[in-house]
């Protein structure tokens, strides 16, 4: 337990650079922050808080499994916060979280953070889309669009149904004037299609 506590204490305390790394025997971690996270203190603190939570969980699992298997392979974690083109007054961040903990390939997780620069608050998916009814309509349109592709309908009905946990990565897309032209949703591998299909992107225009 002591070694685990020391590992946690070694994490970053304040955001001072766009890149943070840590490596030791058994694992390596890299976190990349966008430049705006250094310019906006509140946004930087929010992203750092999320990164620390994921790093803590990664290290907890490493500690647990390394005790059970002292000969397990190297673990890796990468967390990249990408600053997407954003409508006026917003900062849209997509967090790409990749982990390799053994097996044929790593796992990809995605989450969006839509940050109101005027109020320094994070906007939820329901707030972004206008409420529960609008969310239901949005989900229906996403499913319709996905079914027009070669993706298996069974995967689509399960992974794109109108459940908030299915829509962790919804963010607004700006028009040429800076208004909201529509919303993009990203689905990580395995959510609406097999791993070979990779990340799937759907854009739903406002109208």
The whole-number pLDDT of residue 14 equals 65
Rounded distance, CA 47 to CA 97, Å?
Answer: 13
Domain residue limits at 11:
1-123
Among residues 89, 108, 123, which one ends one of the domains? Answer: 123
The whole-number pLDDT of residue 12 equals 42
Among residues 69, 102, 123, which one ends one of the domains? Answer: 123
Q: What is the mean pLDDT of residues 48-53?
A: 96
Same domain, 111 and 16: yes
Among residues 123, 144, 161, which one ends one of the domains? Answer: 123
Same domain, 142 and 95: no
Same domain, 46 and 4: yes
Q: Tell me if residue 179 falls in helix, strand or coil.
A: coil
Q: What is the mean pLDDT of residues 6-32?
A: 77
Rounded distance, CA 80 to CA 91, Å?
Answer: 15
For residue 135, give the CATH number of its domain: 3.90.640
**Over the stretch 88-146, which tens digit does the pLDDT of each residue have?**
999 999 999 999 998 888 899 999 999 999 999 999 999 999 999 999 999 999 999 99
Q: Closest Cα partner for 182 from 205, 148, 202, 159?
A: 205
Same domain, 131 and 115: no
Q: Extract the tokens encoding 94.
A: 């997509």
Number of domains in the chain: 2
44: part of which helix (H) or strand (E)?
Answer: helix 41-68
**Over the stretch 181-205, which tens digit does the pLDDT of each residue have?**
999 999 998 899 887 888 999 999 9
């Amino acid at each position: 337990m002591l070694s685990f506590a020391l590992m946690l204490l070694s994490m970053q305390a304040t955001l001072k650079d766009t890149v943070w790394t840590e490596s030791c025997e058994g694992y390596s971690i890299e976190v990349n922050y966008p430049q705006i996270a250094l310019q906006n203190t509140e946004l930087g603190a929010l992203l750092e808080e999320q990164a620390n939570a994921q790093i803590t969980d990664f290290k907890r699992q490493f500690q647990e499994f390394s005790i059970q298997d002292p000969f397990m392979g190297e673990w890796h974690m990468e967390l990249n916060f990408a600053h997407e083109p954003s409508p006026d007054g917003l900062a849209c961040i997509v967090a790409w979280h990749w982990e390799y903990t053994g097996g044929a390939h790593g796992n990809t997780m995605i989450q969006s953070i839509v940050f109101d620069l005027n109020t320094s608050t994070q906007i939820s998916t329901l707030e972004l889309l206008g409420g529960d009814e609008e969310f239901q309509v949005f989900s229906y349109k996403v499913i319709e669009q996905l079914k027009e592709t070669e993706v298996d309908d069974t995967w689509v009905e399960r992974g794109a149904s109108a459940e908030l946990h299915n829509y962790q990565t919804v963010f607004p897309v700006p028009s040429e004037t800076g208004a909201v032209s529509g919303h993009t949703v990203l689905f990580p591998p395995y959510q609406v299609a097999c791993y070979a299909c990779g990340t799937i992107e759907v854009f739903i225009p406002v109208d």
